[in-house]
Structure 1
Amino acid sequence: MAVPTFEELKQKIGCELGVSPWVVVDQAMIQQFADCTGDRQWIHTDPERARRESPFRKTIAHGYLTLSLVGSLIQTIGAIPENTQAAFNYGLDKVRFLAPVITGTRVRLRTTLLSVENVGPGQYLMKATNTIEIEGAEKPALIAETLAMLYERRKKRAV
């Protein structure tokens, strides 16, 4: 997908911006997330116990790990305008965790643009619906309405 300009992005409100490649959520990724956050609940980090006691018979990814994938996967679909100097997470309007991501499964991101609001000179607030799909599953892992503040690169003045 071609990377849009800010003007082209505004024309895509209500449209799907793209779908990311599939990414495997493996035990190493889950363990790294647990180590970073300190959330070492056995359902995520203990494959042997999960095999015995979990209804899934495997460990599952943290919900917030799955949510955190939105930031990296959205960069793969060309949703950020070409003349963006910086893009920052601005918040979430709604997040729903609908299905667990079982260790070893593949997920991908599907993004639909909800709005682009000019909030100041060269500043745009972008709102999108992001769905993390699980390969082969009917239900997605999550749906999140995200907000991103985009700063347009200023044109250099001739000297």
Structure 2
Amino acid sequence: MVTINNFKEYKSFEGKTIGVSNWHQIDQEQIDKFADATLDRQWIHVDPERAKKEGPFGSTIAHGYLTLSLIPYLWKQIADVRNVKMEINYEIESFKFGQAVRVNSEVQLQATAKMISNLRGTVKAVIQAKLIIKGEEKPAYTGDVIFLYHFA
């Protein structure tokens, strides 16, 4: 994990990979809870028997939005941004899903600082987020998340 205390330190990562998170296993319980929370109970996510027999993946898969919702959790394992009065999840853009995440797969987030800018005291960080699936060549997704920080 890296520690970032101010704009200058954040800017030093621009164009570089900041780091990767720990591995996180997505199990059926997490998929089911996400399905309940979002009211998206499509069988490919919540019916293991049907998914095994009829689905193209041989098992259930995580919702795409479930994998996206892991970004804040996994990001906090990569960077400890300190001295912040307020942090805002500002935007996500240009996300492309490369492949499905099968149940019980392990994933980790790789974060690269694409652009760090100071907008009159507000730091805008454009972070390329790539969700890696253990044992797979293609990532689950790649796209940009944008955070705004108000440093103390």
Query: Runs of 4 or more off by more than 2 Å in structure 1?
Result: none
TM-score by length of 1: 0.91
Which segments of 5 or more consecutive residues in structure 2 lack a partner in the other structure?
none
Deviation digits for residues 85-143 of structure 1, max 9, x if unmatched? 2211111121001010000010000000011111223x111101000000000100000
- Counterpart of 2:118 in structure 1 is 118
Identity across matched positions, percent: 38
- Counterpart of 1:83 in structure 2 is 83
Structure 2 CA distance for aligned equivalents of residues 134 and 8 of structure 1: 30
* Paired residue type of 1:50: A
- Counterpart of 1:29 in structure 2 is 30
Deviation digits for residues 57-111 of structure 1, max 9, x if unmatched? 1000000111111111001111x53212221111112100101000001000000
Structure with greater strand share of residues: 2
CA contact (8 A) 1:111 1:128 kept: yes
Structure 2 CA distance for aligned equivalents of residues 20 and 44 of structure 1: 25
Which segments of 5 or more consecutive residues in structure 1 lack a partner in the other structure?
154-159
Q: Secondary structure of 2:30's match?
A: helix
Q: How many residues align?
A: 151
Residue pairs, 1:4-83, within 5 angstroms: 4-6=4-6, 7-78=8-79, 80-83=80-83
Deviation digits for residues 18-50 of structure 1, max 9, x if unmatched? 100000000011011111100110000111110
CA contact (8 A) 1:94 1:146 kept: no
Larger Rg: 1
Q: CA deviation at 1:5?
A: 2.1
CA contact (8 A) 1:111 1:130 kept: yes
TM-score by length of 2: 0.95
